[in-house]
Amino acid sequence: MATILETAVSAGLFNTLLAAVDAGGLRGALEGPGPFTVFAPVDDAFAALPPGTVQPLVDNPPQLARILKYHVLAGAHLRAELVAQSEWESLEGAPVPIRRAEPFEVKNATVVSADIICDNGVVHVIDRVILPG
């Protein structure tokens, strides 16, 4: 079985997310044993952000890391467990709201593929970048 980052690389849909993880200095943490639950935005999610949004974040690694940590929960949580609560605390510290009915949503993003099991956690693919606050 592959790690979260190896899974993201092999999927080919997360190039922007992987670049952001590197720019934000989080690669080492996400290669660790975890376990983590990652809400992983696809490349199209980053492309849908307003023009000029991504580069300022890349130029500000602490802010980028904060946003990326909002996409991560401690522990490996499958969909069935996530929908049992209305919100979960992110590694960033802010709560991530979970829609408990269909469709399965995390804050303002729809989960397009849930429960991808990895060596060090679980990935849920989302269609939008989520932001704390």
CATH number of the structural domain spanning residue 47: 2.30.180.10
> Could you tell me if residue 80 is inside a domain?
yes
> Could you tell me if residue 47 is inside a domain?
yes
| Total domains present in the chain | 1
- pTM given for the model: 0.94
Q: What digits encode the pLDDT tens for the residues 45-67? A: 999 988 888 788 888 888 889 99
Give SS3 for 85: coil
Count each helix (H run) and each strand (E run) in the chain, helices first: 7, 7
Q: What digits encode the pLDDT tens for the residues 20-30? A: 999 888 898 88
Q: What is the mean pLDDT of the chain?
A: 93
> Could you tell me if residue 118 is inside a domain?
yes
What is the span of the domain harbouring residue 73? 4-126
> Could you tell me if residue 82 is inside a domain?
yes
Cβ neighbour number for residue 91 with a 10 Å cutoff: 20
